[in-house]
Every structure is written in structure tokens, then in C-alpha cells.
Amino acid sequence: MERVDDVLSQMGLLECSNHIIGDKAQTMGISGGQAKRLSVAAEILSIVIGLIFLQLDYNQTSIQNITGCLFFVMAAVSNDSFFPVVQLVPKEWPIVLREHFNGMYRIDVYFIAKWMTEDLTR
């Protein structure tokens, strides 16, 4: 965590480290400049993670370590696009329930479609 705080302070993002990212349509979050600096900081941290695993051997333990790291990186990336959808649920829940009970669609299909459209529009 100390390295993360160092990168946040170097990028000028320490004051907004506990703010919601938000989206342009519904939720007011960090500013556009802060969002750009956040994406640069994420790229810097991903390069650091890549450099950590650069010198590993290609034995079973090293491959498991690399696979575990890739799993957590992919989980973080997918959560980045999933949480804006979860934040919209309370706002749209009455409409979703009404349309579900009228037989228009299943709730899981709604969440998958909403997640995909939110992810593509980012």
C-alpha cells in the first residue's frame, strides 16, 4: 500500500483517493483531468507488476504465480466496468421489477445487457 500511496501522491491523486470515479451520465465523480491521471497511474502500476514477474523462471511454481497475478489483474479490470452497473441498480430497480413481472425479460439478462452496454460506452 505504501507504493500505491507514493504513486497517488506523485500523480496528484491523493486528495481524491476515496472518491467515487463516477460516469459522465449519472454519477458525479472525479474530474476529467483526475480521471486521465488515474489511468496513467494504473498503467504505471501495471508496468511495475509486469517488471516484478519479468525475471521469473518457467517452472510450475512461477507459472502458477504468473497465472494468479493475471487472474487478479483481470478481476480488477472486470470489476472496474461492473461497479457502475451495480451503482445504477437502486435507481432503475422499480422499472426492472415492473418489466420483469410483465414477462419482458429476466433479471440476469438485464444485468448482462446493462454491463455490456456500460462497458462498451466507456
pLDDT tens sequence across 99-113: 889 988 888 888 888
- The confidence score (pLDDT) of residue 60 equals 86
Per-residue pLDDT averaged across 36-48, rounded? 78
Structure confidence at residue 70 (pLDDT):
82
- CB neighbour list of residue 96: distance below 8 Å, 6 or more residues apart: 89, 107, 110
The answer to whether 62 touches 56, Cβ cutoff 8 Å, is yes
Q: What is the reported pLDDT for 95? A: 85
Q: How far apart are CA 80 and CA 38, in angstroms?
A: 13
Predicted model pTM: 0.37
Mean local confidence (pLDDT), 14-18:
69
Work out the average pLDDT over 40-69. 80
